Amino acid sequence: MKKELHIAFDDTDSLKGSCTTHLATLIVHEIFDQVDFIDFPNLIRLNPNIPHKTRGNGAVAIRIEGDNSDLEVVRDVVITTVKKMARLEDENTNPGIAFVSNAIPKEVKQFSRRAMWDVISIPEAEEFNSLANVELIKLGNGRGIIGALGAIGNPLEDDFTYEHLAYRTAKNFGTKRMIDRESIFAADKATPLTFSNVDYEYNSVMITPRGADPVFAGIRGETFVEVMKAWSLVKPLEEIAMLMVYRTNQHTNQHFIKEFPINQLKPHLSVVVHGTISKKPHYIEGSHLIFSIRDGTDEIDCAAYEPTKRFRGELSNLTIGDEVTVFGGVRPAGKNHPMTINIERLRVSSLVKQFSYENPFCEKCGARLKSAGKNKGFKCQKCSAVYREKKQIEKELPRKISIKEYLPPIIAHRHLTKPFERMNRNNKNKQIGKSDIIETLKLLINFKKSS
């Protein structure tokens, strides 16, 4: 009788190179003929504000089924590959591996949900070793078991997307990625169910990373068919080593599930905070925009940094009394600044009215009146007429900001940011046929065999 096995690992890469999805793709190639895959490999992004992450704080889960003997072989392959490929020479790389047999415990799912917004310690993760169907393996200090559990516990039962990843050959690691730029624009326009491939506002290509990691390009979309179609239209100008499709929580806003009063905020949390503007927006050195919000518990600064571009200009039109919801990460206090919410998105729920005030006109000669002194009315300097009862003319001013949600441009989005293109999309409850998964993975793996 076949059994399910959920495998996950994290913290195998380094800022100097490597990539957890690259390692996972190697494992998928290695074990594909021995077991059945019950899902595409999952790329799970966790709380993006964790200070010791490398890039996108992503962990990978592989979900399979097979006979006991085959699953034991797979377990050995995973452990051996992680030990071989992880950047263990970097003191900041501390891999963790998690195995869960059959059903995922509800406690692990709860842990995963918390890992989307909170800071979790290694000892808290280690407690799951006591569960009968959970096995955790630590390398270095084993911090990666936190992300591994977070990935296993998130089988993407809510909203999800796909990412098609192409990988470079080792000889090209660290060099500029060679790709036909125009083909990316053409592929994007031909695949309406892909998104964030191009930032048209800034004429910037988004599918190619810039670091030394093995990823050549990543295309994100609503279906695995659409991301594969988009890739077929892209023209790489260098050799491609491997391909893989991941089902993922990227671009779902899944880290914004916890609302906080201001007096309960702590560094590195991903938070949703409702408040009223209490200090007007102003720019500081570096062209960063700062303002404050207040709720019934406390006050906190909020920041839109220079890389968010025109987003700062939009938020600069807020004023004291406007009601907003801020979505972002909590930056700890530093030498020159208090604890601050780094804004990822902002929703305006109400705007105060703003007015201008002008002196009235003389009824006799039409000239603009001057104040005759406090509570003394107005006097015309042209014809000397005096008006004791006249009041200033009040005129409501149009606001330069609207009641709606604001986002930075695509070039400033994080992996989990839900773009405007997805605002009315949600893939929850969309089923994927097991045969579709297996046939698609076979197609991707055969790419390597034929190249």
pLDDT in tens, 221-245: 999 999 999 999 999 999 999 999 9
Percent of the chain with pLDDT over 70: 96
Query: 6 falls in which pLDDT band (50, 70, 90)?
Result: very high
Residue 182 has pLDDT above 70, yes or no: yes
pLDDT, position 56: 72
pLDDT at position 203, please? 95
pLDDT at 25: 96
What is the per-residue pLDDT for 375?
A: 85
Long-range contacts formed by 310-314: CB under 8 A, 24+ apart: 310/201, 310/409, 311/343, 311/406, 311/407, 311/408, 311/409, 311/412, 312/283, 312/287, 312/288, 314/401, 314/406
Q: Which amino acid is at 267?
A: P
Distances (CA, A) of 441 to 153, 446, 447: 23, 8, 10
Residue-level pLDDT at 326: 98
DSSP 112: H
Looking at the DSSP bridge assignments, the partners of residue 246 are 163
Question: Tokens 């773009």 label which residue?
Answer: 419
Can you give the pLDDT at residue 15?
56
Which of these, 208, 246, 253, lies nearest to 228 by C-alpha position? 246
122: helix, strand or coil = helix
Condensed to tens digits (0 to 9), the pLDDT of residues 113-153 reads: 999 999 999 999 999 999 989 999 999 888 999 999 999 99
Query: What is the percent of the chain where pLDDT is above 90?
Result: 85
- 441 DSSP 8-state letter: H
Q: What does the pLDDT average to over 198-207? A: 95
380: Cβ contacts below 8 Å, ≥ 6 apart: 362, 364, 365, 367, 369, 370, 386, 387
Token pair in block for residue 286: 């570096």
pLDDT of residue 374 exceeding 90? no
Residue 79 confidence (pLDDT) above 60 = yes
| Alpha carbons 68 and 317: distance in angstroms, whole number | 62
Q: How far apart are the C-alpha atoms of 284 and 290, rounded to whole Å?
A: 7
pLDDT mean over 163-174: 94
Q: 392 versus 211: which is more confidently predicted?
A: 392
State the pLDDT at residue 55: 64
For 295-308, what is the mean pLDDT? Answer: 96
Name, in order, each residue with C-beta under 8 angstroms of 399's C-beta and a sequence gap of 6 or more: 317, 351, 354
User: In this predicted structure, what is the pLDDT of residue 404?
Assistant: 97
Find out whether 163 and 218 touch, Cβ atoms under 8 Å.
yes
In this prediction, residue 447 carries a pLDDT of 86
Give me the pLDDT at residue 207, please: 97
Rounded Cα–Cα distance for residues 209 and 166 (Å): 11
- Condensed to tens digits (0 to 9), the pLDDT of residues 397-443 reads 999 999 999 999 999 999 999 999 999 999 999 989 999 999 999 99
pLDDT of residue 210: 85
pLDDT at 450: 60
**Are the CB atoms for 378 and 386 separated by under 8 Å?**
yes
**Which pair of structure tokens corresponds to residue 227?**
């991301």
Q: What is the pLDDT of residues 87-116, one digit of tens each?
A: 666 677 788 999 999 999 999 999 999 999
Residues 6+ apart with CB under 8 A from 172: 238, 239
Give dist(CA 276, CA 263) in Å, integer: 15
d(CA 412, CA 380): 56
Higher pLDDT, 157 or 19: 157
pLDDT of residue 86: 72
The total number of residues written for the chain in this structure: 451
Give me the pLDDT at residue 99, please: 97
The pLDDT mean for the chain works out to: 94
Measured CA to CA, the distance from residue 48 to residue 170 in angstroms comes to: 28
| Range in 154-163, 193-202, 249-258, 374-383 with the lowest mean pLDDT | 374-383
